[in-house]
Amino acid sequence: MKVIIIFMLMNGTTAEVPATLKPYEWCSDKAQEYIRYVDNPTYESGNGKVWVHTMYKDQRVWATMCESEDRNYMVSYYHPEWEKNKSFDILD
């Protein structure tokens, strides 16, 4: 399933990455492929700051989300049977 991963950045902007989810893959897992974690140099035990920053390229990330390629739906998980039928048998 083709999706757009949206990274909401700490500087107030967003970054978008087209990606493809494999069957039964979570968007959050796919987003992890594009981010890295770096130690926060200002962290000290007890100072209330986070000990790592989540980074996309050179920008800090505060949240991620996925949208369908046509931008009509938010996507969290790719379940191929749901996409094929738009329902589960147990719900019919």
For the stretch 31-67, pLDDT in tens is 999 999 999 999 999 999 999 999 999 999 999 999 9
Domain count, the chain: 1
| Residue 6 belongs to domain spanning | 2-91
2 φ, ψ to 5°? -85, 135
Coil/strand/helix, residue 82: helix
Question: Which residues have C-beta within 8 Å of that of residue 37, sequence separation ≥ 6?
Answer: 52, 53, 54, 55
> Residue 58, CB half-sphere, CA atoms under 13 Å: how many?
0
Question: Could you tell me the pTM of the whole model?
Answer: 0.83
